[in-house]
Structure 1
């Protein structure tokens, strides 16, 4: 795994543990030689993870719609900052640039990105794995809800197993790396 897309909030969230996890994930990535692909913002957890990767000497590839650049929320310190026309192009470019996805705590944008990556995987557009970084139980309710969706007959057991969950940045990267290797060996992911 060379590049990891990190989905996360443009806000800091209510718990300091969220920003701590973003910094820890960034350090873990740089320590393993993994570049950051993210939404290109300077605010919230997005800014925290980008700043930490850059401070540790890593590479940051931001992808941001032009309208958000105009609102001055773009992180101008990125190694590369790709401006795109809209959110659809943002998600497509991020998918193109990365090898896997991880979701830190975030809101509707983070959920949108995560579910679109999962849907595109289901449709065969990519075979890249994704993982929830369950900081202080943030994703526990979503994980349980996906069990409910599967038990209700709307998500196969195999598809349900694709949504990886990790309790630490190191565990998330290890689980994603294993899944990415399996995908490159032709195993269904």
Structure 2
């Protein structure tokens, strides 16, 4: 595993992990990722991502850096070329497996944000949300959804609550926001945790 030596760089105390697509080219989704990244940078927070530099992942890191934010990317060796590793990241950690990637991202983060994405993003979302519900962590999990991308999923989850497959308390452990700023406000309640 390669890691940028931490002694060479400094980073803010508060870190937010963003899960999002690494392949979509939809202009609205890309703009949302850029806006969120810029808002993270303006707050002086550290952004934690999957270490890619393309699509939404690329936009969120570029937005964060454009506003002076600090970036940490974690990417498996097997995906370095496919997701075009973010070589300009303040810290780029290369790991062997997806499990190692998720663990490193989890350990570095004070809050989790979910932007539009595919099966990888959904898998990451369900893992951090389930862990929160089960009490393995107390960090915010926030879906940033200004355009209703996740509306069908949220409707299905509400149906699962009605049918008894999901507890109401699980839904209370999840936040949904309509803007980048609201998303970060929901995350910032954890800023005194460390």
Q: Tell me the TM-score normalised to structure 2 length.
A: 0.87
Confirm whether residue 133 of structure 1 aligns to residue 144 of structure 2.
yes
Q: Which runs of 5+ in 2 are unaligned?
A: 1-12
Cα pair 1:9 1:106 within 8 Å, conserved: yes
Cα distance in 2 for residues equivalent to 1:73 and 1:48: 13
Aligned residue-pair number? 181
Confirm whether residue 117 of structure 1 aligns to residue 128 of structure 2.
yes
The 1:71–1:147 alpha-carbon spacing in structure 2 relative to 1, beyond 3 Å, is closer
Confirm whether residue 4 of structure 1 aligns to residue 23 of structure 2.
no
The alpha-carbon deviation at position 71 of structure 1 amounts to 4.5
SS at match of 2:139: coil
The alpha-carbon deviation at position 138 of structure 1 amounts to 0.6
The alpha-carbon deviation at position 93 of structure 1 amounts to 0.7
Q: Deviations over 1:40-67 (max 9, x none)?
A: 0011100111111112221100011111
State how 1:78-97 maps to structure 2 within 5 Å.
78-97=89-108
Which structure is higher in helix share? 1
Q: Deviations over 1:113-169 (max 9, x none)?
A: 000111222333221111111131111111111111111112211111111100100
Cα distance in 1 for residues equivalent to 2:82 and 2:115: 24
Q: Which runs of 4+ in 1 moved over 3 A?
A: none
Cα distance in 2 for residues equivalent to 1:175 and 1:32: 13
Cα distance in 1 for residues equivalent to 2:182 and 2:43: 13
Partner of residue 31, structure 2: 20
Partner of residue 164 from structure 1, selected from 171, 175, 186: 175
SS at match of 1:136: coil
State how 1:136-151 maps to structure 2 within 5 Å.
136-151=147-162
Partner of residue 187, structure 1: none
Cα pair 1:18 1:135 within 8 Å, conserved: no
Cα distance in 2 for residues equivalent to 1:72 and 1:147: 34
Q: Tell me the TM-score normalised to structure 1 length.
A: 0.89
The 1:139–1:72 alpha-carbon spacing in structure 2 relative to 1, beyond 3 Å, is closer
The alpha-carbon deviation at position 176 of structure 1 amounts to 2.0
